[in-house]
Structure 1
Amino acid sequence: MSFRISLSGMNAASADLNVTSNNIANANTTGFKQSRAEFGDVFPVSAFGLSKNAIGAGVRLNQVAQQFDQGNVEFSGKALDLAISGQGFFTLSNQGASVYSRAGNFGADRDGYVVNPSGHRLQVYLPSATGTGFDMGRMSDLQLANGDSPPRATGEIEVGSNLPADAAAPTVAPFDPTDPSSYNHTTSLTVYDSLGASHTQSLYFVKTANPNEWEVHTQIDGNAVGAPATLQYSDIGELQAPVPGEIALPDYDPGNGAAPMAITVDVSESTQYGESFSVSALVQDGYATGRLTGIEVSSTGVVNARYTNGVSTPLGQVAMTNFSNPQGLQPQGDNGWSETFESGQPRRGGAGSSEFGLIQGGALETSNVDLTEQLVNMITAQRNFQANAQMISTQDQITQTVINIR
């Protein structure tokens, strides 16, 4: 019996060494979670139950428990590297089977899908059909956009200007855009048609003979667009007309096959103060075709594609998963786990909500292995093994003594 007790102790120490060895081997593995060997004592039970004077029958390995403590977050500078700070796992798809991981060293395959080194595809919640938020009930593979961002025709221009209150009507009439004496002030900006081609839109401000009244002439690429619009200000310099401060221009055909341009000029922020002309805002909502320049991921896991035209398009929100008992997950290798009965059902959500941590883009979570601690564990397990081996040697000597009795 005593031989078997010591043998169980040697087996336990060997298992402890194996766990420690695996932890040390993965000290530099991204997203690795160290394990701990947990043991239980063994007592023989007879038909009459367990006696209070029973001597133990050794030790056995109860479980190898994974420790899901937070690893350090180190910045890598690579856009598709992701680190979780807090609870939760990345949700991956291995040809339809769900895999969960803390390792965020992702890249793009030849089809543009975001995958880990094992080829498992990162899952995201797709943008909702309404264009606001994400559909949390529908997951899909994250695929990077590989085409250009389509253009958007200018539909509205916001003009924040101040016209001088002491201005006089021009000495030259009628208005002629080529003659600066026929207008008081001008400003211009770039607008876009439905094909993404740029055009220059100019606004000419002409003081009329009536008090606090101005005319605005609009031209696109040197062509007049509609009749001049009248701006009327109050005696304290605030805009009174048009109401509500918008000038709807007639459709303008750019002549290049694009759809007619229908532009509204918003002058609700314009004023008539002082002695000088100024433009504080000149904004339009159109843009040209854009090329992909990069990917950025927010702390809530929203993946945005950035383009040269200034547009940022959301591609999805990283799908996070958590479990009631993460230690019950089944290791799959390659930094992945799968759910089991012991882990409980997966609970899904987005980063930064409820029980899920935040996501850091351009960073990786390192292994949570403490090498100093593991080296101490190694020495302790080695001593345990040697002590149990010495116990077997001692028991062998006792046995030999009994055999040699005459």
Structure 2
Amino acid sequence: MIGALYSGLTGLRTHQAKVNIIGNNLANINTTGFKKSRVIFRETFAQTLKGGVAATGQRGATNPNQVGAGVQISSIDVNHKNGSPQITDVATDLMVRGKGMFVLGAPDAAQVDPNSKGVSASSNSVKVFTRAGNFGIDTNGDMMYRPNGYRVMGWNADSATGLVDSSKPVGKINFPFSKSIAKSTGFVEYMGNLDTRAGQAELTEGGGTGIKTYDLPADSQLSTGAHRIIVKRDPADPESGNLVASLDGGPDVAIPGADQAVTLQDPSGNGITLSFGENLNSGIASINVVSAVHKSTIGVYDGVGQRHDVELTFTKQKDTDNTWTWAATGATDVEADGVSGSGLVRFNGDSGAFEFVTPAEPTVTIKPKGDGKDLTFDLQFGNLTQFASTSDAMASRQDGVGPGTLTSFSIGADGTINGIFSNGISRSIAQVALADIPNPEGLNTIQDSMFAVSPSSGAPSYIAAGGRNMGEISSGALEMSNVDLTEEFTDLITTERGFQANSRIITTSDSILQEALGLKR
């Protein structure tokens, strides 16, 4: 009877432990990232009353006679099955869809192992893990675990290139809200037309002046459009009958005589060469000019985000068909002679399409004032044309931007945090790491829905989400508890019945003992 009492006692103890586990599961049914546990029982040792005997001759074998000594807990296992998603629409709420755990850096003096007897953990060497992705951002811009402030681990991107190197050790993830970034210009793309009629003039109204020939000098930058030529008596000697001519109100130039070339200049010094016939006389003539020069200005940015307005000048070659020179002729906020770059652009005479440029890889270099480094950027002329239409070639785009600060972000399925900056730059700023645990069931469960490594869990490796056999990350969602309410209540009922049965063993054994003690009466 004593043995039966102790067997019943072991049954009460084990079923009580199972009730405790079920109670903890039910208590955490709404706990984010919680993983339920289960209890497995096993039989304790058995007392052998009679050993088994093998068959001999005409006598068959007999089986052993054994009496069990009760039950004990075989294992308490954590079920790491994924929980259902809970949509929150909070960008920093993350959920792992599949294998993997988020990595948290334990601060100094944090007790992360219930078996470590108070040994503290360094944030540089000891990590803890969780499936609860309710993260936030602290005042320093660090991504942290809301329940206790532990920092979320991952890889920060290179601030200049936005590239993430996941082969490096994991560290805290930081959002650069207080830092500005800029991007220096790497290329400028030009598009539009350069007028094939550039460098030509047309007499639209002679005005009785007797103009015979007209031509633009090679270096003339006379603007496109109509220009007025006035021929009149020399105001310095009106009685002499000598004639002078002027262009758009520019200086008067004496006309030496018929068939003699004379160059007139406008107030800006841009000129045209004329000659007059025998019928030279006073009057006002009009000449329409298509300028041989076209200028375009584009703002570019150096490495520190300073803007420089660079002027590029295209000049039609007078002696070479379908050919223009290009040259960087000015820039703002640069040293003296701080801009350089020139070459040729050639077009197809039949189609007006771009043919080639020299040098083959055209560049412009500017030398900013101050401490900024020299900036060299490529020019792309492939979209230019040469048709008989007004010159409108201009820079259509360039890839540099001035300083900007982080305004918003998004987190992708691979854990990459993509930042949007006020200057329009979109760049990776970090990537959330996942831990691959060889044996997740071997982890020690600690506070705040976290886990710590143990000798049976194996050493973790840190991998980007979606890599190897790891799950992907969903932003704006949390993983709910994987506790099944119906399953837990079913287990609770069977456990209660088991506890009652073991209680009955004790009361029955006690009654038999009472009867045995009564025999002496």
The structure 1 residue matched to 2:182, chosen from 151, 165, 184, is: 151
**Which has the larger displacement, 203-212 or 326-335?**
203-212
The aligned residue for residue 4 of structure 2 is 2
The structure 2 residue matched to 1:64, chosen from 76, 96, 110, is: 76
Cα distance 1:38–1:252, how it changes in 2: closer, same or farther (>3 A)?
A: same
One-letter amino acid of the structure 2 residue matched with residue 388 of structure 1:
N
Deviations along 1:169-202, one digit per CA (max 9) or x if unpaired, are 3656643679796379876654334543445556
In 2, Cα distance between the equivalents of 1:4 and 1:115? 51
The aligned residue for residue 413 of structure 2 is 299
| Pair 1:134-2:243 in alignment | no
Task: Give ranges in structure 2 of 5+ residues lacking alignment.
Answer: 53-62, 108-121, 202-215, 226-288
1:300-315 matches, cutoff 5 A: 300-315=414-429
Q: Which SS does the other structure have where 1:28 is aligned?
A: coil
The aligned residue for residue 278 of structure 2 is none
**Which has the larger displacement, 264-273 or 107-116?**
264-273
The aligned residue for residue 152 of structure 2 is 122
| Pair 1:98-2:207 in alignment | no
In 1, Cα distance between the equivalents of 2:47 and 2:482? 40
The aligned residue for residue 12 of structure 1 is 14
One-letter amino acid of the structure 1 residue matched with residue 127 of structure 2:
S
1:267-286 matches, cutoff 5 A: 267-271=381-385, 282-286=396-400
Verify the 8 A CA contact 1:74 1:364 in the aligned structure 2: yes
The aligned residue for residue 191 of structure 1 is 300
Verify the 8 A CA contact 2:95 2:475 in the aligned structure 1: yes
| Pair 1:42-2:44 in alignment | yes
Verify the 8 A CA contact 1:245 1:268 in the aligned structure 2: no
Deviations along 1:80-107, one digit per CA (max 9) or x if unpaired, are 2221111112222212222111111112
In 2, Cα distance between the equivalents of 1:269 and 1:382? 82
**Which has the larger displacement, 173-182 or 391-400?**
173-182
In 1, Cα distance between the equivalents of 2:483 and 2:46? 37
**Which has the larger displacement, 57-66 or 314-323?**
314-323
Verify the 8 A CA contact 2:49 2:65 in the aligned structure 1: no
One-letter amino acid of the structure 2 residue matched with residue 54 of structure 1:
Q
Size of the aligned set, in residue pairs, is 403
Deviations along 1:260-317, one digit per CA (max 9) or x if unpaired, are 6544322134455797989898221211111111233222222333311233443433
Verify the 8 A CA contact 1:213 1:231 in the aligned structure 2: yes
The aligned residue for residue 79 of structure 1 is 91
Verify the 8 A CA contact 2:413 2:466 in the aligned structure 1: yes
Deviations along 1:361-400, one digit per CA (max 9) or x if unpaired, are 2322221112222122222222222232233333333333
Identity in percent: 30
Verify the 8 A CA contact 2:364 2:379 in the aligned structure 1: yes
Alpha-carbon shift at residue 230 of structure 1 (Å): 3.6
Alpha-carbon shift at residue 30 of structure 1 (Å): 1.4
Verify the 8 A CA contact 2:48 2:64 in the aligned structure 1: no
Deviations along 1:220-254, one digit per CA (max 9) or x if unpaired, are 57x9976875421234554333146543335365x
Verify the 8 A CA contact 1:244 1:268 in the aligned structure 2: no
Alpha-carbon shift at residue 31 of structure 1 (Å): 1.2
Question: Cα RMSD between the aligned structures?
Answer: 3.8
Verify the 8 A CA contact 1:325 1:344 in the aligned structure 2: yes
Verify the 8 A CA contact 2:47 2:68 in the aligned structure 1: no
Q: Which SS does the other structure have where 2:501 is aligned?
A: helix
Verify the 8 A CA contact 1:247 1:267 in the aligned structure 2: no
Verify the 8 A CA contact 1:125 1:317 in the aligned structure 2: yes
Verify the 8 A CA contact 2:164 2:430 in the aligned structure 1: no
In 2, Cα distance between the equivalents of 1:98 and 1:194? 38
Alpha-carbon shift at residue 62 of structure 1 (Å): 1.5
Cα distance 1:49–1:201, how it changes in 2: closer, same or farther (>3 A)?
A: farther
The aligned residue for residue 230 of structure 2 is none
The aligned residue for residue 401 of structure 1 is 515
Alpha-carbon shift at residue 71 of structure 1 (Å): 1.4
Verify the 8 A CA contact 1:162 1:276 in the aligned structure 2: no
In 1, Cα distance between the equivalents of 2:81 and 2:470? 14
The structure 2 residue matched to 1:89, chosen from 76, 90, 101, is: 101
Verify the 8 A CA contact 2:183 2:401 in the aligned structure 1: yes
| Pair 1:375-2:498 in alignment | no
Verify the 8 A CA contact 2:47 2:67 in the aligned structure 1: no
In 2, Cα distance between the equivalents of 1:128 and 1:259? 20
Verify the 8 A CA contact 1:162 1:277 in the aligned structure 2: yes
**Which has the larger displacement, 203-212 or 292-301?**
203-212
**Which has the larger displacement, 272-281 or 99-108?**
272-281
Alpha-carbon shift at residue 334 of structure 1 (Å): 0.9
The structure 2 residue matched to 1:26, chosen from 16, 25, 28, is: 28
The structure 1 residue matched to 2:323, chosen from 213, 217, 228, is: 213
In 2, Cα distance between the equivalents of 1:123 and 1:48? 62
The aligned residue for residue 466 of structure 2 is 352
In 1, Cα distance between the equivalents of 2:132 and 2:392? 54
Verify the 8 A CA contact 2:302 2:373 in the aligned structure 1: yes
In 2, Cα distance between the equivalents of 1:343 and 1:49? 41
The aligned residue for residue 238 of structure 2 is none
Greater radius of gyration (CA) = 2
In 1, Cα distance between the equivalents of 2:91 and 2:11? 49
One-letter amino acid of the structure 2 residue matched with residue 144 of structure 1:
F
Deviations along 1:20-69, one digit per CA (max 9) or x if unpaired, are 11111111211111111111122324598797332322211112100011
Cα distance 1:39–1:274, how it changes in 2: closer, same or farther (>3 A)?
A: farther
Verify the 8 A CA contact 1:91 1:100 in the aligned structure 2: yes
One-letter amino acid of the structure 2 residue matched with residue 114 of structure 1:
M
In 2, Cα distance between the equivalents of 1:29 and 1:395? 43
The aligned residue for residue 117 of structure 2 is none
Deviations along 1:348-369, one digit per CA (max 9) or x if unpaired, are 3222122321122232222111
The structure 1 residue matched to 2:291, chosen from 182, 188, 205, is: 182
Higher strand fraction: Structure 1 or Structure 2? 2
Give the TM-score, by structure 1 length: 0.83
Verify the 8 A CA contact 1:126 1:135 in the aligned structure 2: no
In 2, Cα distance between the equivalents of 1:329 and 1:144? 31
Cα distance 1:251–1:137, how it changes in 2: closer, same or farther (>3 A)?
A: closer
Deviations along 1:306-350, one digit per CA (max 9) or x if unpaired, are 311233443433232222221111111111111111112223322
Verify the 8 A CA contact 1:145 1:305 in the aligned structure 2: no
**Which has the larger displacement, 197-206 or 360-369?**
197-206
